[in-house]
């Protein structure tokens, strides 16, 4: 998947883009790690009962030059995309997802379109 200017999680009605005021130090402050390729990656569980339960994950990768990003909700191994807006645990997972996204908005990393 290529880095995009705008992204949307499967099942979500909101579209996100990188905030024009994004700073590399803000990425590190919220837990992004620098990959071997120099990109910034964040993996967070969307399970509201435990941050250590990695059954459903939000994965965000931002290009090293902060020009684009990609994001998806996946299973723990990251090889299958999931729609967290469906299923028996959807309400809690979506609430946790929105909490994570709001934190990224507040830190001027992402913004809603």
Domains parsed from the chain with CATH numbers: 6-107 (3.30.1820.10)
Residue 75 pLDDT > 80: yes
Query: Binning pLDDT at 50, 70 and 90, where does residue 48 land?
Result: confident
Q: Rounded to two decimals, what is the model's pTM?
A: 0.91
Q: Residue 67 class from Cβ within 10 Å (0-12 exposed, 13-18 middle, 19+ buried)?
A: exposed
Question: What's the whole-number average pLDDT of the chain?
Answer: 92
pLDDT tens for residues 1-36? 589 999 999 999 999 999 999 999 999 999 999 999
Query: Binning pLDDT at 50, 70 and 90, where does residue 52 land?
Result: confident
Among residues 105, 21, 110, 100, the alpha carbon closest in space to that of 62 is found at: 110
């Amino acid at each position: 998947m290529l880095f995009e200017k705008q992204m949307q999680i499967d099942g979500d009605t909101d579209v996100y883009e990188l905030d024009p005021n994004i700073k590399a130090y803000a990425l590190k402050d919220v837990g992004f790690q620098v990959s071997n390729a120099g990109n910034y990656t964040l993996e967070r569980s969307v399970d509201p009962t435990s941050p250590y339960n990695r059954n459903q994950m939000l994965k965000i990768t931002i290009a090293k030059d902060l020009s684009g990003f990609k994001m998806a909700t996946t299973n723990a191994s990251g090889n299958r995309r999931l729609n967290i807006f469906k299923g028996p645990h959807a309400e809690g997972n979506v609430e946790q997802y929105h909490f994570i996204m709001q934190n990224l908005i507040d830190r001027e990393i992402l913004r809603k379109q």
